[in-house]
A and B are shown apart, each in its own frame.
Chain A
Amino acid sequence: MSPFYYKTAIETLQELRKSGERNPELVVTLGEKLIYEGYTGKLGDEVWSVYEQVFIAALDYRNDALAKTCLERLEKRFPKSPRVKILNGMKLEAEDKLDEALELYDEILKNDDSNIATIKRRIAVFKAKGQDQRAIEALTQYLDAFYNDAETWLELSSLYLNYHLYQQAGFCLEELILLQPQNHLYHLKYAEILYTNDNINNINLALKEFCRVLELFSDLNSLASERLSKVYSLDSKNKVGNSNNELRQIIRDWLNESDKSY
């Protein structure tokens, strides 16, 4: 292999780490090359995060030998680190020893009850065991303190949606909107939830939220405009209520036009 090769490999891994994208196949292929062909010395201090990354990808990809190598090297270097302990727990999870993993996480949390990664792994174990109730409990407890963790609010809302708890899911989305008011995806999801949870007030709210989505994301969001046009065309067919016909007409025209230009 040319020396150029490992440089691009390292850069690719860096980018994947930064974006948080999970691409186990690529990571395992690159990681195997780097680790087995002795390029680890060229990584400097970065080598430990690469080991961690490759380890997780190896678990995803069921490459046990590679995972073992990575974990052994990490354990040798950081024997007491909770971060490595979490990796151990993930290995247990991968081997389907969920209870043992849970015990390990509980032990870490006993010493350090604000270890975010551990809290999240613990929730993942609950989900893997199918104990959604406990997962929801753990999530709410976590979010009570770390209210500004957007991903976790999304996770909680999707759990609620599994049980058709639209009001609770809506609450989560409201929190997300408070965190990032300018993110049109949250508004869209919130509108969808309101729309699904049928009730006149909610439909009105949903319509407004769909409008908001269009305002924030001006390259017409197709889902939001589709919903709007559906509701408005439906309503005019039925001719019920005291809704604003003019507005409906304008929005419909506008949507038709934008459909053509799209």
Chain B
Amino acid sequence: MSHQVLSTLAESQSLYLDPAIRDWVLIPIMIVMVLVGVFRDQITVLLSGGTKKATLKAIRESKVLMRGAALRSYGNHIPPLSFLNRKNYLTNAYKKGDYLKNPASMNQTVNPMTDPQGMEMMMEGMKKNIAMIIPQTIIMGWINFFFSGFVLIKLPFPLTLRFKSMLQRGVETPDMDVTWVSSLSWYFLNLFGLRSIFTLLLGEDNAADGMREMTAMSQMTASPTGQPQDFHKLHLAESENLELTPHSWELNDIEHRLLTRYGKREQQKIIDSTENVIESNEKNAIEAASASSYSEHKGKSRRKSGKH
């Protein structure tokens, strides 16, 4: 059906909907879905409320990976020698499994059922899925049960005939325009459209919208719910990445960059800035000066580490 035909059909609107449908179906469905979203957000907070305590070794095991990644991305800011030292240390530690929770289990795959932490993670994932699936099913059942079999609203845009059976489920009128849709379509429209409304209502990282978790779940099928990873493999991979990371020091041409920035120097020129020994009495003075600045810093950091 072409666009023109559709629009003429739409213009010659021959259906009048009872305002009671609007008051008792259209708006209630939307309100219920918003409320359920807010409720879901609260429930997720409640379910994940029990703070899971990771042991120090587990934290160490996963954080060392981030440390390697940090070295890879920001390594250019530290001098070459310091970078090399860290690189060698980390690659060795990765290879030997120094940072593993349990260095003996280097070559075994972990069974999630025996590892209590794995169990916990699986429970966590299940809880989230349940919080997502149950309200969704209930609302859909509620809409199907009470509000099927009549037209609820007219979409302001045309759709192809293919959508007819889906959007007009329960109406079964062969000649009716596809833009007239039943309550189930309104439900789906809400499901997708309310997502950014939840962002407005509940902030960025809310758990109200089910679709995000749905996508998360489809990814999870690849690696079953919260399956604990084999950290030794991850460590080995990171060590390989680290070994392949070149180092080009940010400060190689710093003098030049600085001078260019302040308009003192035009074109690129390789600068050799070898300096020589400073006389010892000067040095002592400098030491004293910098020692005072350290004590300042020290006071600050001590105060900070006192809070928690």
Contact = CB atoms under 8 A, between A and B. Distances in A.
B5 interface: no
A234 B282 CA distance: 9
B162 interface: no
Contacts of B254: 208, 211-212, 215
Contacts of B53: 112, 114
A68 interface: no
Interface stretch (B22-30, B62-70, B119-127, B182-190): B62-70
A223 interface: yes
Nearest to A190: B78
Given A147-B67, A177-B78, A196-B290, A207 B273 contact: yes
Contacts of B71: 178
B212 interface: no
A192 B297 CA distance: 12
A155 B307 CA distance: 13
B275 A146 contact: no
Given A145-B59, A145-B60, A177 B77 contact: yes
B274 A208 contact: no
B305 A196 contact: no
B251 interface: yes
Contacts of A123: 305
Interface stretch (A2-10, A29-37, A39-47, A237-245): A237-245
B75 to A, nearest CB: 7
Interface in A186-224: 189, 192-193, 195-196, 198, 200, 203-205, 207-209, 211-212, 214-215, 218, 223
Contact of A204 (B273, B283, B301, B308): B273
A79 interface: no
Nearest to B82: A174
B195 interface: no
Contacts of A112: 53
A115 B132 CA distance: 31
Contacts of A231: 275, 278
Contacts of B78: 174, 177-178
A148 B255 contact: no
A131 to B, nearest CB: 15
Contacts of A114: 53-56, 58-59
Measured as residues with beta carbon below 8 angstroms from the partner, the interface class of chain B is 35 or more
A235 B276 contact: yes
A223 B63 CA distance: 35
A254 B260 CA distance: 12
A177 B82 CA distance: 12
A152 interface: yes
Given A114-B53, A124-B306, A223-B293, A211 B255 contact: yes
B275 A207 contact: yes
A200 B63 contact: no
Contacts of A162: 298
Nearest to B64: A147
Interface string A241-262: 1111001001101100000000
B8 to A, nearest CB: 60
Contacts of B56: 113-114, 145
Nearest to A116: B308
B294 interface: yes
A185 to B, nearest CB: 8
B55 A178 contact: no
Interface in B265-301: 265, 271-279, 282-283, 286-287, 290-291, 293-294, 297-298, 300-301
Nearest to A211: B254
B258 A215 contact: yes
B142 interface: no
Contact of B298 (A113, A146, A158, A218): A158
A88 B86 CA distance: 40
B251 A209 contact: yes
A145 B74 CA distance: 19
A179 interface: yes
B275 A208 contact: no
A220 B306 CA distance: 32
Interface centre among A147, A193, A235 (most CB of B within 10 A): A147
7 contacts: A20-B307, A158-B302, A192-B294, A196-B291, A205-B79, A243-B275, A244-B273
Interface of B: 53-60, 63-64, 66-67, 70-71, 74-75, 77-79, 82, 86, 250-251, 254-255, 257-259, 261-262, 264-265, 271-279, 282-283, 286-287, 290-291, 293-294, 297-298, 300-308
Given A120-B308, A250-B265, 14 more contacts: A22-B306, A116-B308, A117-B308, A151-B304, A158-B301, A174-B86, A178-B70, A178-B78, A192-B290, A193-B290, A195-B286, A230-B282, A234-B279, A238-B279
Interface of A: 20, 22, 56, 86, 112-114, 116-117, 120-121, 123-124, 127, 144-148, 151-152, 154-155, 158, 161-162, 171, 174, 177-179, 181, 189, 192-193, 195-196, 198, 200, 203-205, 207-209, 211-212, 214-215, 218, 223, 227, 230-231, 234-235, 238, 240-244, 247, 250-251, 253-254
Closest 6 pairs (CB-CB, A-B): A117-B308, A158-B298, A241-B276, A145-B60, A154-B301, A181-B77
